[in-house]
Amino acid sequence: MTPARLPGPTTMSSVPPPLTTAQTTAAVADERVRLADWAAALTREQWQAPSLCEAWTVRDVLAHLTTTTRLSVPLLAREAIRARGSFDRLEVNLAAARAQRHSTAELLQQLRASAESSRRFPGSSPVDPLMDLVIHAQDIARPLHLAYRTPEHVVTACLEHVVGNRFTGAPERVAGLHLVSTDSGWTHGTSSERGDGRRGGSEVRGPGLDLLLAISGRRAGLDALSGPGVDALSERLRPA
């Protein structure tokens, strides 16, 4: 079966159309293979470094990314009871178990092997595993001061998905803000103009990846953002 082709970067100033299900599946496969190949060069010390996810090391994030296609309803039910109903605790427990059970080389191979799998967390959409991969790749790369690039159209698809995803808390973070991706032209929210024609106090602009990190709860994304709405977004990212 010939895999679906990923769309290339748009040559127009407009935002590219949403990815189809086939294109999303192809993007997930591509991200899994690319991230595994990129991460294979990390040192032992880098694997043990803290990630942007407070509870996880870099290696724990990798272990988490291998769980998506290996979950079953009985396993989830058992782990939900163990986590006493906390989804965050459930994810931490699952990642910890896989990190303990498998070597780093095995986890990398599992991530590659899952490239063609369409299995995902029960109740999730086709874009959710793509969003997970794109964000967690930055959770790994940024604390290590390394660059990991994701195609612009994939970042845009994740931005469009996450702003309406209540599970991530993004809708509350971006309420009343006008978001602008400076590399793709993607926008979200209503812009306002003052009497002098300048933008009002709600705009937040910057590279798509940094917007994606910030609106998904990572303060690391704020540094590259600008605009009068950044202070409001920053305040919403402070711990409760």
What are the structure tokens assigned to 82, written together? Answer: 């163990």
Confidence of residue 231 (pLDDT cuts 50, 70, 90): very high
- Looking at residue 15, what is its pLDDT? 66
Least confident of 24-38, 153-167, 195-209: 195-209
What distance in Å separates the CA atoms of residue 107 and residue 136, rounded to the nearest whole number? 15
- First vs last C-alpha separation in the chain: 49
What distance in Å separates the CA atoms of residue 18 and residue 163, rounded to the nearest whole number? 14
pLDDT of 240 over the 70 cut: no
- Looking at residue 119, what is its pLDDT? 82
- pLDDT tens readout for residues 95-106: 888 899 999 999
How large is the average pLDDT for residues 222-226? 97
Confidence of residue 230 (pLDDT cuts 50, 70, 90): very high
Identify the bridge partners of residue 188 per DSSP, sorted by sequence position.
Answer: 179
Question: Mean pLDDT, the chain, as a whole number?
Answer: 85
What distance in Å separates the CA atoms of residue 72 and residue 69, rounded to the nearest whole number? 9
- pLDDT tens readout for residues 107-148: 999 999 999 888 877 777 899 999 999 999 999 999 999 999
Length of the chain: 240
What pTM value is reported for the model?
Answer: 0.84
pLDDT of 78 over the 60 cut: yes
Q: What is the sign, positive or negative, of the torsion defined by CA atoms of 116, 121, 126, 132?
A: negative
Order across the sheet with 187-188: list the strands.
187-188, 178-181, 203-206
